[in-house]
Amino acid sequence: MKTFLVMTTGGTIASVENKAGLIPQMTGEELLSYIPDIAGLCHVDILSICQIDSTNMNVEIYKKLVSTIQENYDKYDGFLILHGTDTMAYTSAALSYMIQNANKPIVLTGAQKPISYDSTDALINLRDSFYYMMHEGTRGIKVVFGGKVITGTRAKKVNSLSYQAFTSVNYPYVATVRNNQVIEYIQHAPYQESLKMTTKMSDRVFLLKLTPCSHPDIFDFIYDHYDVIVIEGFGVGGIPKHLFDALVTKQNSYPEGEKLLILSTQVMSEGSHVSIYEVGKSLMGQCDYLEARDMNLEAVVAKGMWIKGQNLKSFKQIKKLFYQDIAHDILGK
């Protein structure tokens, strides 16, 4: 039998109702008591990391998750993180950079309704996660939810209430789980590189979603308080003319590598293509910036956190690392 470590963080799956609304309170032991049949298929240990609504997830908890996996990596065949759905995609992306080349499964799952509800999706998500981890050849960071297996850098929550909460952005589903059977679509070969784990992450990252009424003075505040600036432009990633000069001036006012500017798009699928239109191409050569291309927005934010945590000074080094494919996060070249 394989042995897995289940780490609980709270979330809807562990929530109970009170006057203030749903609040995470159930322990890992209580959660797993709803699927007693799993005990006959694998050995499970349980560890509580925190007990929060995932809205309150933060970098310090990312670090605690990584440290826990690092301390226990040799003891277990895989790891299951029970997590709230609202920020699960950010956590799966962050862990994909903090834990690289893991030849063991590290799975995140949760539920749209508490496990105590008759109509809950928690039971199937939990069972699917265990069956996926028991399947031979599974490895790396994955989200298992609604019968789908999604690589950690490509997950996005697209439905706020329904059970099919997550999709995979610009990348196929890795597998599906049906009737306790894993159907693989993509088989990832074992990592040949050595396992890497780090807790060096910066939380000085700001995501700016442009609107037609955005004002250029917003850059003064952002650049004064944050080190990574991700801009969700329009369409393929265009920057309006009335913002152009202020953005270029602000970015160029700092030493090389101090501020990391990343251009992305508000459109979920097919990625950014900044150089297609004049509103994007005109930025070329005016300042140092990176482009998200086909990367998932959550992965862009997490990769910016990770890169800034490495304390690199050269933009050439930063650029090389940003465009390096890590955990299948970027395909476009």
Q: SS3 letters for 110-162? A: CCCCCCCCCCCCHHHHHHHHHHHHHCCCCCEEEEEECCEEEECCCEEECCCCC
- E strand or H helix at 43, and its extent? strand 43-52
Q: How many Å apart are CA 83 and CA 7, to the nearest integer?
A: 9
| C-alpha dist (Å) from residue 198 to 52, 106, 152, 309 | 23, 15, 17, 10
For residue 120, CA distances in Å to 84, 135, 188, 315 come to 14, 25, 31, 48
In angstroms, rounded to a whole number, what is the distance separating the alpha carbons of residues 133 and 69? 15
Count other C-beta atoms under 10 Å from residue 85's C-beta: 23
| Neighbour count for residue 183 (Cβ, 10 Å) | 12
Cβ(282)–Cβ(275) below 8 Å: no
305 close to 297: Cβ distance less than 8 angstroms:
no
3-state secondary structure of 293: coil
Show the tokens assigned to 46.
Answer: 């349980």
Bridge-based pairing of strands 43-52 and 3-10 is parallel
| Residue 198 designated active-site | no
CA–CA distance, 143 with 153 (Å, rounded to integer): 9
Taking the CA atoms of 120, 22, 18 and 57 in sequence, report the sign of the dihedral they define.
positive
Residue 194: CB atoms within 10 A of its CB come to: 7
Which member of 12, 87, 109, 265 is catalytic?
Answer: 12
User: CA 29 to CA 42: how far, in whole Å?
Assistant: 15
Residues with a catalytic annotation lie at 12
